[in-house]
Structure 1
Amino acid sequence: MIRIITDSSADLPKNLLEGYNISVVPLRVKIEDEEYLEGIDLTPREFFEKMFSTTELPKTSQPSPAAFAEAFDECAENDEVLCLTISSGLSGTFQSACLGKELSSRNVTVFDTLAGSLAHGLQIIRAAELAQKGHTMEEIIENLMGYRKNMNILILLDTLENIVKGGRLSKFQGSLAKILNIKVILEGVKGQVEMLEKIRGKKKFQKRTLEIIRERKTDFSDTIFGITHTGNEEEAERLKQEIIDLFNPKQVIVHYMGATMGTYAGKDGMIVSF
């Protein structure tokens, strides 16, 4: 049997984690002087409430190798273990999982999704579905490599405030963007985050997002979309409905963004993955 393990940055809803019997190793989140285990001590809703009420940006840190080893060793002796992690370009979690593999007595394969949030989560669902259908580990990894290569990750920033706080952009640029009502679309590329477009005005911002989706594919009938948000659930649900109306995809999953990506996405940020 192949068991799937991941870290908490995948942002998968609880019902999907339980439905596919996926084990989660939590990242640590530090807000001011308090440290929490993501998803255990702190729900996504609580995380954003705390983040928006403090001037300091939260800090996330990867699980320890021992935490991964413990999760691996909890699997049955004859199980094969597949661990899918957040991009190694965004966190040290992949390296931690690899070290955990060395500490574990189980047969473990660690896969770098080169993604965050539900772009990571969608790869977990793909792996779990293939495992349920009886595919071998080699077949699952081969399939995942193709799926990962074709993954689209659009990061929609309504405000640049947290990017400025995190030192990724100057205060002058951030202030100018606020005055000019500039919105930013970033893109996940090979595990890193890159600038895609700058757009002026909220309506143009949302319209352009749908145009980009249309430019990427023609047939969405077998496509699962993932939308994560930082508390702007109504906006995310509206985008979900527009995607359904325009593209008729297989499924659209909407969930809170976790601390790893949510810290920089800031207020009213969203990530669209497909």
Structure 2
Amino acid sequence: MRIGYPAINQALSCRCSGTFRLASFSDERMTATIEANLACLGRVLAWNVEHRLTFFRITSNLIPFASHPVARDYDWRARFAAELGALGEYVRAHDLRISLHLGQFVVLNSPTETTYAASVAELTYHAELLEALGLDRTHKFQIHLGGLHGDPEGAFDVFARRYAQLPQIVRDRLVIENDERTASVADCLRLHEKTGIPVLFDTLHHTVKNAGETQLKALDAARGTWSAADGTPMVDYSTQDDAKRVGAHTQTLDVEDFRSFVRRLRGRDVDVMLEIKNKEASAMQARVVLDELGLP
């Protein structure tokens, strides 16, 4: 079981998501920002290895404006081929796993053509980033179904049709995640039947929106959608912050809940992304729990 956390290491002074105002775009500013972001990512990965955290969700802003028309003539893949290649080599050498989570504005089944086109551009950027890192298709990026737009069955059909039209490098790496409003695990399984897309199981979202199935039954159903080529099934783990809206992630790891979750897995092989607000601090607590349970 790999354990990881998303996007930001709060123990370090750098961030991998540096950006700037679109109005001030220039090749020089783009180059300096990407250099800083990639250098920080290298520091984060090394810190993770030192602390035995082998799963990390990269920020989508690693290459700012990569899918925006303003950067169409800026070839970040060629300019940073060496740096990206070295980072990917480090990931492979230490058996790390990388993932990404696209933002809420990526809606593959959107009825608005401009949103759909922008979504495809963003999906393609994510695939090209993982390709530039030299990582295989076990390194994934995830999205949600998006809105139902008043026609649930039609929304599923549009998603399936547009998914089939995506470039192969996108389809190889894209997974669908259950959410707390629109798509339960059962809904995602229907999408899998239409498309073959793997389903990433989110524990917190399942507690909010489900079809009455237990957590383990839903998790097993999601695990069954992953092929050997897709790698170990991925799980997003969190618990509810009782002081906030339903579906809000907790600030710190509920150690006893996590220990119970791992015990109930009973040897099921999954990689767990901790969607906890204090990020690497909770990941290190989770690492202690795994050590206590005798899990490498």
TM-score range, shorter chain: 0.3 to 0.5
TM-score, with structure 1 as normaliser? 0.35
Q: Which has the higher helix share?
A: 2
Kindly indicate which of the two structures has a greater share of residues assigned to strand.
1
